[in-house]
Structure 1
Amino acid sequence: MADPARAAKMADRIKVVVAQALERRVKDPRLGFVTITDARVTNDLQHATVYYTVFGTDEEQDGTRKALESAKGVLRAEVGRNITARLTPTLEFVPDEIPVNASHLEELLRTAKARDAEVAAIAEGAAFAGGEDPYRKPGDEDEDESGSESRPE
């Protein structure tokens, strides 16, 4: 087993090599605006998972997925030429879900902010139903400023 630091370095190198190879070597028209976002390599350096994002419609994203699968051999050969390892890891391409999740979280935050603004607008003109301290008892008026009750001696 290799150490995790070496696997992380190799993953970074694979990410760069695959991105450059997609730009220069792979001339598939189905490849749209693809961005390699991350790569992960197993600790035994045998398998690499490459994460990507694609801007476009669902059809364009599906076409990009098929293009990456068909170019897997060319990309693996390019990775093998540019890394220093005894064995070239297999490549698996996985669409990155982080941008989708981030946009969903942003939408939830926008909704929460709008609801907070609605509540603040409602509370702006509101008054207390039973005074500022609804738990105040009629005998509590003889408290001094320190909050302790004053007792007659």
Structure 2
Amino acid sequence: MADNARAKRLADLIREVVAQKLQRGIKDPRLGSQVTITDTRVTGDLREATVFYTVYGDDEERAAAAAGLESAKGVLRSAVGAAAGVKFTPTLTFVADALPDTAKTIEDLLDKARASDAKVREVSAGAQFAGDADPYRKPESDDESDTAAKTDGDAAE
């Protein structure tokens, strides 16, 4: 089993080689400039590599890019093997990354929160406090405490 640093270096190399090959070496129109390699992970034994990618476009373009990556898998694996110089070239598995969908969901939630904050700000613009303007007790001054002590003394008699 390889150490984690070696697996990370190999994953970084695979990501770079696959991205360069997609950009310059493969002439498949399904894999135009719309495919972006976002991450690569390699198993501990360096036998399998998972390549995460995103495709900017609709579902039809995503399906076409997935088919294009599957058809170019052998060429990409050969390029990785030539660049890596390892005994066994890892098998490549391409997985569509959910990053854009997650980012869109987060953006939608943030927009909803901003709208809610704006509504609260509008409602509270002319509002006043329910009780006194200053609801906290203040310490009594010396004059007030003397008066309070006299009235307490009178009540005791």
**What 5-or-longer segments of structure 1 have no aligned partner?**
none
* Alignment correspondent of 1:106: 107
Name the aligned partner's letter for residue 21 of structure 1.
K
Listed as ranges, the matches of 1:88-99 within 5 Å are 88-99=89-100
Looking at secondary structure, tell me which structure has more helix per residue: 2
> CA offset at residue 132 of structure 1?
3.6
Partner of 1:25: 25
The residue matched to 1:124 in structure 2 has which SS? coil
The sequence identity of aligned pairs, in percent, is 54
RMSD over aligned CA atoms reads: 2.0
1:133 offset after TM fit, Å? 6.0
Give the letter for the 1:52 counterpart.
Y
Displacement after TM superposition at 1:103 (Å) = 1.7
Q: How far off is 1:131 after superposition?
A: 2.8
SS in 2 for 1:152: helix
What amino acid sits opposite 2:99 in the alignment?
Answer: I
The amino acid of 2:112's aligned partner reads: T
Structure 1 length normalisation: TM-score?
A: 0.86
Question: Which residue is 1:79 aligned to?
Answer: 80
Q: Which runs of 5+ in 2 are unaligned?
A: 151-157
After superposition, where does 1:18-57 map in structure 2 within 5 Å? 18-32=18-32, 33-57=34-58
The structural deviation recorded for 1:84 is: 2.4
User: One-letter code of the match for 2:45?
Assistant: D
Q: CA-to-partner distance for each residue in 1:86-113, whole Å, 9 max, x for gaps?
A: 1000000011111210121011011101
Secondary structure (helix, strand or coil) at the match of 1:74 reads: helix
Inter-partner Cα distance in structure 2 for 1:73 and 1:83: 15
Measured in 2, the distance between the counterparts of 1:127 and 1:25 equals 68
Taking the aligned partners of 1:5 and 1:52, their CA distance within structure 2 comes to 23
Q: SS state of the match for residue 66, structure 2?
A: helix
Which protein shows a greater Rg? 2
Could you tell me how far apart the structure 2 residues matched to 1:118 and 1:131 are? 25
Residue 152 (str. 1) matches residue 153 (str. 2): no
Separation in structure 2 between the aligned mates of residue 123 and residue 144 of structure 1, nearest angstrom: 33
CA distance in 2, matches of 1:8, 1:40: 8
1-side partners of 2:7 and 2:49: how far apart? 9
Runs of 4+ in 1 over 2 A off after TM superposition: 128-134
